[in-house]
Structure formats: structure tokens, C-alpha cells
Structure 1
Amino acid sequence: MLDAIRRRKRIAQIILLILIIPFAFFGVERYFSTGPSRNEVATVGDSAVTVAALRDALQRQSDRLRTQMGEAFDPKLVRSQAFVEEVLRQLLERQILLNEAQRLGLQVPQTVVQKTLAAIPVFQKDGRFDFATYEAALRAQGMTPARFEALVQEDLAIEKLLRSVRAAVVPPQNVLTLLRWQEEVRRVRWQRHSIDAVAASLPVDEQAVEAFFQQHQDRFQKPDEAALEYVVLDEKHLEVPPVPEEDVRKAFEARKAAIAQPEKRRIRHILITASNFDDGKTLPAEVTQLLAQLRGKDEVQFAEIAKNRSEDAATRAQGGDLGWVTKEELPPALAEAVFAAKTPGLLDPVRTDFGWHLVWLSAIQPAQTPTFDAVAPQIRAALQQEARKRRFTELAAELPNLAFDAVDRLDPVAEKVGAPIEKTPLMPLDALTLNDGTPLPAALVAQLRSENARRGENLDPVTLPDGRMVVVRVARFEPARPRTFAEAKADAIAAWRRDHAQSQLVASLAQQVETNASITKWDGEKRLQRNDTTLPRTVVEAAFALPRKPGVHNVVTSGDAVWLLELVAVETPVVTDNDARAKSLATQLHSLYGDVHYRAWLRTVEARYPIQIRQEALREFTAE
């Protein structure tokens, strides 16, 4: 019984502003046509993907990249053909899955959707679903509750379909073979020879060093350097007008009914099941006798009897306590009886699919509607945050044109966003950061090497990893150039010594192995597994690359040392079907097999829903 209630309370961890699953789709280029109508970008069988749907999806993906993938984000990215086609690809695959779910008659009741939404943490306040928070979160994404709930209902249906598609059988022998490979242990001993120690003892041959320098000049270049000026657009620091009291009250009135907490009741029960029930109306003798025993008892005595007589294993030890429940969390007949009671105490027996319930109503918590004063600060803060987000979005859209129009001046940008112009010292491009230590996104570092940057022009705005946007110009640029031998002499000597030391060590150790020279001194020995982290990764991989024959050797370079390895022993683990490790590995393989099965299934299902894409519809989203 308790398990059934817990299932009703289970959190479905989805918030799908756009469905994100491990897409295994195919390229969209072979589906281009002129088939769909002007307001459609594509058709999938008899269903359409509209231009508006693609526009919304692109906006949401763009926002997600801006806030979560700042280092990879560039304003030009979301206008690229590849980006637009990728988002369209996701919509097409989602539509295929939705079409198939509908064909199979997979439906999700509205009650399941509501429970799913109520369990999503981002929509909760103080651990409970809060409609004001819910509505504000959707509004910030440009969505209505009705539209979002329709998407969630579709996604839950798709989730049902995917669970069956991804079901896969993993042969037990495959699991055991892989587990033996993973758990194999090798006892290895080694000598570790420091390259730097040998290098320090090498005499310097200046002619050889200079020849080495001439052969490897690319290793001794002075890198590109730049000093930057920049302006940061930060949502947290944007000034917005105070929210009028009237707007706060309007928001409260609009959401008052939705934020009300439903009535709750705390109950205990004794469950009696039997193999031969009558029609469900006449009390069985066992229930009648137990009811007579309970009359006149208090809650403590009820709980003691429940511990001995209840057949609900999940609550028996707790005296039948089901805790606080809402009407929707109980079976209909039980809910009717519990919520019809006027006062706490023993209720009449109730028949459900679980059996007969003898119920004690412990307490009643009436439905509650928060007062305006109680929620006004949260509503005001949410409205102000929305205003700040809208302002950020507006300024983010203006930044590219603003930076372009100002050419090589940042003061118009700084004035518009209300932020100062900051300056960095001259540094190598790959080491440049903002003054607060924020590393420059790769897209920005790439721009810094352009001709526009060297002319001091404002560069395209980019998004930082924390969601802020920045407009940068190069105030001073020093291009990379080869250093002379005199400038690089000390570095050239160190590099020449190191290369020669490494070559000498590798040759010397390899000769020992080839001649089977007796090795009597080792620096260390241990039992290794493949996931060992105490030795360098290249050393561990080299140890497991050795033939499974004790006494074999390998020479490997790792970082600042050359290692001589000897395999001492191989330990093959003993594993069985009921090994806990095998069960865990089987779960992982099940997921991998499921992905493979899904990809194959998807290609088959695609034939059922022919795809046509109207290429000219994409031009709206890719035009500069």
C-alpha cells in the first residue's frame, strides 16, 4: 500500500523546454524538398514541424548555450547552417518518436503530468510546488503553462516508448568476459630513470645545440601577445526600475488559486487481505472481529494492534502510519472515506483493490492559501528578475550591431550597458584572462588572431562560461616571431639536453632487454589494475599491453622519466553470475546495447514517416 502511494509521489526528473535525448539521427540534407507549406519547415509523415516551432527551439537552444556552454558559444554560431540543421534534426527525431507513440496508442493521463510538474524542484518553493515560481520560470522561457504541459505530456509518452525500445538482453557470458578483463591484476616491477637527471650531466656541444635550434625553430618562437580593452554585460548588475506594488498584487491575484496548498490528512491503517472476498460490501468475519476489538481504543492502541495484525508489510512496523496524504494520493474509495470524515478517530472499514482497510484519522490540515504579505517579497523578486533577464536579452541582441557601429571604440558600448571599460596587461594570447581571472572562450581567442583584431576593431560579442557577455578590442598586439639563437640559447640547450638524455635512456634500456641482461635492482613493485592512478597513465597502459607471460619487459617514456617495466605475474579474477560487480556491469552494458538497439530501430521506423524539408524556410534562420 505504501509503495503505491510512494509511486504517486515519485519525482519524474524531466523539464523539457526542448527534448534532449541521445540523438542517433541521420543527416537532414537528403530530405530537402519544396513539399511543406510556407508556414512549415518540414513534414514528418502527416505531421508538420512549423517555422514557429523551429524558431522557438532555436531561441531556447541559443539561450541554453549562452548560459551553460559559454566557452563554445559565439553569436554567429546560432545563425550557422550546421547549428540550424542540428536543431531541426532534433525536432524531426522528436516528431518521429511522437508519431510512433501516437500510432501505438501510448497515452499519459493529465494527472500524471500534474504530478510530474509538481515534483520538479525548479518549480518548487520550500519543498512544495509553487505556481508563481512555475509560471515565472516558463514566462522567462517565453512559454505558457498550457504549451509546456502539452510538451511534457508528449515527452512522457515518448519516454514510455523509449523504455520499451531500449530494452536489451545482454548475454551473461559477455558480461563475465568483460568483467574478467576489467578486474585482471598484473604484478609489475619497474625502474624509473629521470630524464632531467641524465640531461644535467650531459656536456654541452654548442655546435650541436645550434644545429638542433635551426632544425626546431618552431619550438622556440615568441608567441602572439596582446593587451585588451573590454566591456562586460552582466545580468546581475543591470539596473531595472522597481516593480510597482500594483503589478505585485496583480501577479498575486492571478496566481492565488494555483498556489493554494490542498487539504491534507494524516492516517494510520490496518490492511486485511483474503483469498476469498465476498462482493466487497459484506464485511468478512475477520474484519468484523477486528473492528469490534478496535472500538473504544485510542490511536496508540490502534498502532499496537496494527503492528500485529496489518498485512501491509511496508507500514506494519510503524503502526500502520501512512503519514500526511492528499486526496489524490489515495485509492478513490479510501480517499472518499478519509476526506469525508469530520473529526479524527476510527473510521468505518473501506474496501479497495488492496483489501479491507481499518483506518484511524490522526489529524486534519485544512487547505491553505498564502496571504499577500507572505508571498509579496518572492513575487516582487521574481518579477524584478524577469525584468532584468528581459533587459539582458534586449542588450545581448543589440550588442553585435552596437560593437560593429562603434568600430574601434568601446565607450558607446560601455554607456549602453552601464559597465566600465576594463584593460588587461600585455600577455601571450593563450594565457590571456579577464581581470577577474575568467579565461577567454576559445571563440574569442580565435578572433584575437584575426586581421580585424590587429587593427584594433571591436570584435564580435561572445558569451563567457558563466553566462555574461563581453565585447573586446585589442589595444596592443605583438605578433609571434622567431627568436634568434642568442635569445633562445638557454632554452635550446635545455631542450637539446633533454632530447638527447631521453634517447640515450631509451636506447640503453632497450639494449638491456634485447640482451637479456640481468637486472637485480628495481625501484618499485606493485599489483596493478587497469584503473590504477598511482602510476602515470602511459605506464599503466604499457604494463597491460605486455604479453601475458611473466618475465617480459617494456620500455616507455612518460613525462620526465623513462621506465623499464617487467611483468612478474598475472592474476585472473574468479567471477560468477551472482557477482555484484557483474550485475553493475550488466546494467552499464544494458544501456550501451539499448543505444545500439535504439539507433537500428529508429532507422526502421523512419521509413514509416517520410520526411520532407523546405530548404528555403531555413534561409530565415541562417541569413546574416
Structure 2
Amino acid sequence: MLQALRNKLHGWPSIVVLGICVFAVSFFGIESYFMAQTDTFVAKVGKHEITQQQFQARLNQLRQQAGEQQADTSIYERPEMKQRVLDSMIDQQLLLKANDDLGMKVSDLAIRDTIASIPGFQVSGQFDLNTYRAALATQGKTPAMFENDVRSELAIQLLPEALIGSTIVTDADMDRFLNLRLQRRDLRFAMLPRPALTDSNVTDAQIDAFYKEHQADFMSPEQVAVKYLEVNGADLKVDTQPADDELKKRYEAEKQRFAQPEQRLVSHILINVPKNATPEQQKAALTKAEKVAAEANEGNFAKLAEQDSDDLGSKRQGGDLGWLEKGVANQAFDEALFALQKGQVSKPVLSPDEGYHILWLRDVRSGQAKPFEEVREQIAKEVAATEHDRVYNDVAGKLADKTYQNPSSLESAAQELKLPIKSTELFSRQGGEGIAANPKVAAAAFSDEVLAQGNNSSLIDLGSNHAVVIHVDKHVPTAARPLAQVRDSIRQKILDDRVAVAAKQRADDLLAKLVKGEDMKAVVASMGANVQSVNEATRIQQALPAELLEKAFLLPHPAAAKSQYAVVATRDGNYALLAVDKVQDGDLSKITPAERDRLRSDMAQAYGTLATHEYINSLKANTTIKIAKDRL
């Protein structure tokens, strides 16, 4: 057969076929035959991939925030919560893509103002560059990295803020809302007494049947007790008395930390250049900027800023930007600012993505280093803290290593590190006493690795230089409590249910009488109850039980001389009869202008938020979104 095939592959037909094959292989790439492409995204929004690394980083961030608030971090292991987090990331990516499509960008000034307003970067209420850099260093971030994070956060807010800002709430909208919010209703109600128990006989068969039917209600919770090794920084004794020579050496090495950099008090006028501006628009902006710069001087700069500046954040303050240091603004802005002499007004300075700045240098504050004597105590405390952290990290690191190397026991690590093995009482998944009260410990104790596989936990960070490694000492599975233990409570439950059924039936019978037209006072008097009246009750009436008030404003408007009635279950397990006799609109004359302004703002926020959700849904409908649930 092979010989026959060889015989047929001669002549020009075979050359044509071979040429087509060679072309196909060269066009599509022979490597596709040998290499398999493996997708690693958890979601793909259009062409943008949300990677597993990005998704896990977001989950870890949320877990850390929950841990800091002493909340349950285990919720982020649930599939529905993971899906909710991913949905949020998808929404954010849709907004970022919409920003690009619409040409919306975060300005450098917005980033600068946001960072300067963060209290953690301020000293005496003013932004401090050294504090800023030191705070970022503790997070392992550079200013550029942090500024990118801020830019991303602000970018996500651009469209929602634009939608909220463009929302129009009319006076008619507010009047309709206020009429409903301040609506007044005339009510009558009677709290019905609990009926007496008429049949107190409960047989063993009834108890046994109830127990079998509701066995899930009588389960004892799964519990564990753990042994643990603990490293607590507060208990570590660190003897550090650094000599002056060492402190001075550190002072010289880090002298820039204690130097106040040169600062310049500046005002500016911004002439905006639109994104993707035409040459004519760019020329017009430059012409205007040059005209303003030519007119500007110390006497009229503030007035010109209020009149001509496109920076809404500073124009009302006459263009005041406050004291700035090098590195806060972009390079072009910085170079122009630090080339000025005090009192000078600059020529127009082109800033990327913003436009032309005209700068007025109002004052200069020279940099000055604090003397060693003034910062000695600070450096000494830092040295001590650093040594304390080093010792803690050393012990905690060794504890993590030793317990990982011998995962079936804490004994070896305890002997080597001279740490006592401590223990807890039994506790459930909801936690217990001592370290078991910490949600991280409870979650680790019931994890598959620790509970099912019998391993030591990883190092559990409890915060403030405090960590533990745990090992399950005792496990009590969930089990049904014996009938003998719960017999009395079952009997009482059966009796309570009988009373509840009788109470509901009686309330329904009384309601039927009211609907037929019988007098409410006469109907409830036979039950030993009284009718109470509340005229012009509002939705925020404090004197009424919440369940009665909620039902009262859900009932339809009564017809003329015909009340609306309902039975309402109260929180104590009893029932009440409710009548709505009259409905009036709210008295809008009592609403002050300031209250109307606040309401308009709140309604715009609510409508804008709703519009944002609708806009995101429309983006989803027009975007191909793939989700890999198996990678969550």
C-alpha cells in the first residue's frame, strides 16, 4: 500500500498538494501541533483577563480587613462570596474600559489632592513628604506604585460620580417622595392577650414523633479542643541599650528623614486643554494662557484665578495650592516651580493630560535638618522597636519552620524553642474562650488540614506581634442529643405551638368580624383587650411597635367611611388587630430649605447609584464575559 501511495505522489499534482501543506504549516505555525495553550484566568472581560493572582490578592486583602475588624474570615472560603468578589472585579473592569472608550482620565492634580488629604500622611494637619515616604516603605511600596493604586481607585469612581453629578432631581420628584415619607395615617389597634392552654396532655408518642421530625433542632455542635504554641511580642524580653555612637551613625545614614525639604507656597491658574485636542484647540488654549500670564501679577493673581482657572478645586481659593515639595506634582510643573524666584509669575507650563499652568511663587521655606539631640530619643525607640521586631520574627519564624517540619506534633518545636504547650477548652466553629475567641484560630481548627488530616496549623498571625500554631487535641463530632435530655423542652414546645395555633385562629376569626362591619371595641372587649388610637401617625412614629407601624403603611388607602383591617404578628409571639381609618399627604410646609437641599443631594446619590448599576448591566450585555468557576 505504501508503494502504491508513493507511485501516485509523482508529477505536478503532488507538487501542488505538497505546496498547500507547506503553506498551511508555515501560516499557522508548526508549534501549535506540539504546544497546548492553558488558560489561567478566573474571568475574561472582553479582551482583559482577571488572573488568579489578582483574584487571590483581592481575597487576601478582604480577609485581612475582616481580621482587623475581628470578623469571620472564613466567609471568603464560601463559593457564593468568592463569586460576589469576582463580580465586583468584573464591574470595576467594565468601568475602567468605559473610561477609556469615553476618554475619561484621572488628573495628576486629583491624585495629588487625594494623597495629601490622607490623615496618615499628615503632620499637624499638613501633608508631610517624609511621613508619606516612610509609610509607603513599611508597605513595601514606592510613591509611583502607590500613586498608580490611587489612580486606579479614582478611575473606578469617575463614571459613577459623573452619573451622580448629572442626575437631576426636580422639585416634583422631592414632593412625591416627601408626601410618601411624611404621609400621615389615623390608626387603631388592639393587642390581643395570649389564649389560655386548653389541652395540656402530651403523650410519649407525640414527644417521640416531634423529636424524630425536628431532630436537626436537637443536635449538639461539633467541637474541638486544641493544643498550641504561642509567641507574644509583649512577653519577649529584649535588652537593647544602643550606644550614642550607634545612634549617631544611624542618624547620619538616615539624615534625610529628619530634614524638612524645601517647600514652596504656590498658586496657579489652569487653562485646560481637552483630551485629543485639535491643533486649533491647543493653539487657542496656549494663546489664552499667554494672555493671562502677561496680565498676572501679585496684586491680581487671585482674581484672575477665580475668573479664568479651570481647576475647580482651587479657583475659589484664588488658585492656592498650599506648600508643595519636589516630587508632589509632575516633572514639568516641578521644574517650572523650583526655577522661580519668590514673587515671580511663570510663563505657561504645559502639564500632560491637564493643560497650561501659570504659577505664582508666593513664598519659600528652606529645608532644615533637625539636630541629633532633638531626634536622639526617636532613633533610640526605633532601634529598640527594630530589635524587638527582629527577635519576635526570629522566634515566630523558627516556630513556623519547626512545626512544619514535624507536622504531627508540637512537642519537638516546644522543646527546641523552650515554649510551653498550652491548651483550650472545647469550642465550636463559632469560637470559644481565650485564643479560640479569635475567628482565625476557630477557622484553622476546623480546617481540613488541621482537623481532618491531623497536621499542625500554619503560623496564625493574631496581630500586634502575636502568633500561634495549633494542633487538634480532641474532636467531638456533631450528634443528636439523647431524647431523655430534651424531653422536657419538647413537651413545652408542643404546648407552646398549641397556644400559637389557637392565638392565630382566634385573631383570624376576630378579623373576619371586623371585615363584616362589626364594631372594633365590641369585638376586642370580649377578649379583655382595649382599642388604642393614634392620629396622624408617621413612618417614624416612636410610640408604636415596629411591626404594627410597618403593616399600617403597607395597607391600601381606606375608602370613605370604611377602614382597612389586618392581623399583625408581634415579636412576643402574640397577635394584634390593626385598623387604618384615614390617610393624608405629608405636610411639606415644615421642610426647611436646608433639609430640601440635603434631600436633593441624597436622592441624586441614590438615583445616580441606580443609574450606575443599570449602566454596568448594559455594559455586561454588550461585553463577552467568561468565568472559570473551577479556578475560583
Give TM-score, length-normalised by structure 2: 0.60
The match for 1:519 is 524
Counterpart code for 2:610: Y
Alpha-carbon distance in 2 for matches of 1:417, 1:476: 24
Equivalent residue letter for 2:616 = R
Q: By how many angstroms is 1:117 displaced?
A: 2.3
C-alpha distance in 2 between matches for 1:67 and 1:203: 53
Cα 1:425–1:216 shift into 2, 3 Å: same
Distance, in Å, in 2 between the alignment partners of 1:380 and 1:181 is: 65
Residue 584 of structure 2 corresponds to which residue in structure 1?
571
CA–CA distance in 2 between the matches of 1:73 and 1:464? 13
Moved more, 178-187 or 407-416: 407-416
Q: How far did residue 106 of structure 1 move?
A: 4.7
Q: Secondary structure at the match of 1:515?
A: helix
**Comparing 127-136 and 498-507, the one that deviates more:** 127-136
Aligned to 1:591: 608
Corresponding residue for residue 545 of structure 1? 554
Distance 1:383 1:414, change over 3 A: farther
Partners in 1 of 2:605 and 2:556 — Cα distance?
Answer: 28
Q: Shift of the alpha carbon at 1:60? A: 6.7
SS in 2 for 1:495: helix
Deviations 1:94-143 (A, max 9, x none): 66655654565555554554443222112223323333432233233332
Asked if 1 retains the 8 angstrom alpha-carbon contact of 2:169 and 2:604, the reply is no
Mapped contact 1:136–1:382 kept (Cα < 8 A): no
1:55-94 to structure 2, matched below 5 A, reads 55=53, 58-59=56-57, 62-69=60-67, 71-73=71-73, 77=77
The equivalent of 2:145 in structure 1 is 147
Between the aligned partners of 1:174 and 1:339, the Cα distance in structure 2 is: 55
Q: 1:252 aligns with which of 251, 254, 268?
A: 254
In structure 1, how many angstroms separate the alpha carbons of the residues matched to 2:387 and 2:82? 28
Structure 2 residue identity aligned to 1:142 = G
- Does structure 1 conserve the Cα–Cα contact (< 8 Å) formed by 2:163 and 2:608? no
Q: Report the counterpart of residue 163 of structure 1 in structure 2.
A: 161
The aligned counterpart of 2:120 is: 122
Counting aligned pairs with the same residue, the percent is: 20
**RMSD over equivalenced CA pairs, Å:** 5.9
The higher-RCO structure (CA 8 Å, 6+ apart) is 1
Gaps of 5+ in 1: 1-32, 267-278, 292-310, 312-319, 342-347, 353-358
Q: How far apart, CA to CA, are the structure 1 residues paired with 2:38 and 2:565?
A: 66
Q: Deviation at 1:562?
A: 1.1
Alignment of 1:13-52 (within 5 A): none
Which shifted more, 471-480 or 371-380? Answer: 371-380
- What SS class does the counterpart of residue 556 from structure 2 fall into? coil
State the SS of the aligned residue for 2:604: helix
Where 1:561 maps in the other structure, the secondary structure is coil
Contact 1:458/1:471 (CA < 8 Å) preserved in 2?
yes
In structure 1, the residue corresponding to 2:254 is in which secondary structure?
helix
Q: 1:129 to 1:169 in 2, by over 3 A?
A: closer
Write out per-residue CA displacement over residues 273-324 of structure 1, whole angstroms, 9 at most, x where no aligned residue.
xxxxxx99999xxx9xx99xxxxxxxxxxxxxxxxxxx9xxxxxxxx99999
- Report the equivalent of 2:342: 340
SS at match of 2:434: coil
Change (3 A) 1:504 1:395: farther
Q: Distance in 2 between matches of 1:170 and 1:127?
A: 36
SS at match of 2:473: strand
Change (3 A) 1:220 1:140: same
Gaps of 5+ in 2: 1-34, 268-290, 301-306, 308-316, 349-359
1:170-189 matches, within 5 Å, as 172=170, 173=172, 175-189=174-188
2:495 aligned with 1:497: yes
SS in 2 for 1:545: coil
- Between the aligned partners of 1:125 and 1:605, the Cα distance in structure 2 is 48
Map residues 413-452 of structure 1 onto 2, 5 A cutoff.
Answer: 421-426=421-426, 429=428, 432-435=431-434, 438=437, 440=439, 444=443, 447=446
**Superposition map of 1:186-225 within 5 A:** 186-193=185-192, 198=196, 203-207=200-204, 210-211=207-208, 213-214=210-211, 215-225=213-223
- 1: CA distance, partners of 2:578 / 2:81: 51
The answer to whether the 8 Å contact 1:222/1:482 transfers is yes
**Closer/same/farther in 2, CA of residues 593 and 281 from structure 1, 3 Å limit:** closer
Q: Tell me the distance in 2 between the aligned counterparts of 1:383 and 1:91.
A: 41
Task: Tell me by how many angstroms 1:503 deviates.
Answer: 1.4
The answer as to whether partners of 1:192 and 1:561 remain within 8 angstroms in 2 is no
Q: 1:171 to 1:83 in 2, by over 3 A?
A: closer
Alignment: residue pair count = 515
d(CA) in 2 for partners of 1:207, 1:443: 40
Match of 1:558 in 2: 570
Partner of 1:271: none
CA–CA separation in structure 1 for the residues paired with 2:397 and 2:182: 54
Residue equivalent to 1:409: 409
TM-score (norm 1): 0.61
1:316 matched to which residue of 2? none
1:599 and 1:167 map into 2 onto residues whose CA distance is: 17
C-alpha deviation, 1:417, in angstroms: 8.9
Distance 1:398 1:94, change over 3 A: farther
1:159-200 C-alpha deviation (Å, 9 max, x unpaired): 4455335555356455544443333333434333565x846x
Higher mean C-alpha displacement, 63-72 vs 123-132: 63-72
Deviation at 1:599, TM superposition (A): 0.6
- Residue 342 of structure 2 aligns with an amino acid whose one-letter code is A
> Deviation digits for residues 513-556 of structure 1, max 9, x if unmatched?
21336234427544654455665544433333333326333223
Query: Contact between 2:425 and 2:433, CA under 8 Å: does it hold in 1?
Result: no
2-structure distance, mates of 1:327, 1:452: 54
Task: Give the Cα–Cα distance (whole angstroms) in 1 for the partners of residues 392 and 384 of structure 2.
Answer: 12
Local SS of the residue matching 2:60: helix
1:143-167 deviation per Cα after TM superposition (whole angstroms, max 9, x unaligned): 2122222443455455445533555
Following the alignment from structure 1 to structure 2, what is the Cα–Cα distance between the partners of residues 43 and 207?
61
Q: Could you tell me whether the CA contact under 8 Å between 1:191 and 1:522 is conserved in 2?
A: yes
Q: Is contact 1:213–1:485 with CA below 8 Å preserved after alignment?
A: no
